[in-house]
Structure 1
Amino acid sequence: MTEKFEVDLDSLQTMAKVLGSLFYFPLTDANNQSLIRAMAVDAQEQESAFSDWCKTVNSELKDTLNQDFFLLFEGGEIMVAPPWGSVYLDREEVIFGDSTVAYRQFLREHGIELDTGMREPEDQFGLMLFAVSQFLEQQTDITIVKSLFADHLFPWCYRYLELVQEHALSNSYKQLAGLAQQWCEAVQELLVIEPKALKLYR
């Protein structure tokens, strides 16, 4: 994958929503399958960062993708790449840690409510990208979006994406994590964000 992400403010909201979906729901989910088909058509018309990835997803068995989703996002006895920020930022490596509480408060202060119908931490990587998309859709002050990235997401997400690439069984998830990393780096450059320096425990 030699194509680089070209990020601008117009595409930021869309890509946050797309990546949020790809990292929150299984790739075999009906909505994600529709997204992948649409991206494959776009890739045929214009070479994009997702061109090779769409081909990879379509070449792998659904059982393989579902097994990888379970391993990476739901976990058995051992979580090899936990998708929640507090696991990386909390000394005890727990979900619903202090950083989750701080992020929840941040969302409330700025009028964002993430109701997934389940009691789950808001600092899941895909959910955090959904929050970015929601802020941008509501035309929230860009400094608030920058704060979400700098204070709550970027301090840990690069380590998370590194672990996904390391432990994923499928090429689809390995490549997706690489694309997400490139996108985060491009966003960081576009918005001139300096991530808060926080100690990581994983």
Structure 2
Amino acid sequence: MGADESLDFPLPVELVSFSAESNVDDVLLSWTTASEINNKGFEVERSIKNHPLANGLKIKNFEPIGFVNGKGTSTELNHYSFKDETVSAGKYIYRLKQIDYDGSFEYSNEIEVEIGVPDEFVLYQNYPNPFNPTTNIQYAIASTQHVQLKIYDVLGNEVAVLVDEEKSPGNYSVEFESKNVASGLYFYSLTAGSLKQTKKMLLIK
């Protein structure tokens, strides 16, 4: 990322994924970088959705809640995480502020999380939609289940596996990046135990 970098040069940090998992009293943020150049680290910022200071307007009041040190310069995959334990019931929006050693910075995409134990199995419509190059997919499960979230093309071919593991009850948000995917209509399917839901999304490049 890096706000002052020209597109003619390698980006200081290539962020390839950013996701969130919420429980009753905390939110776990996870992200991965493919490469880093002079990366000081990531400031984690949070906004409370429908904050009273917004006075009914769509204003996001982001505040820093933590900092995670970067790897400086690296050509390997690096995995990061940050747990926000200062949450209560409600909706929150998170983003990362990646900061270089020279002080330049760039923001990641925003990701929305809802706190509270869901009482049903739900797969939400992705946002934004249509999208390019990334979109967020949110889902909720009411009991501990082995969860699979997969992307398919119109021919039924599997394009990506975003989730394939056991999950506790909660609300989840996953980012899908279409880096090596062509424009067109795609389906994303969520399976949890015997339950399954599928929705459509449109990639326009």
Of structures 1 and 2, the one scoring higher in RCO (CA 8 A, sep 6+) is 1
- More helix per residue: 1
Using structure 1 for the length normalisation, give the TM-score: 0.29
- More strand per residue: 2
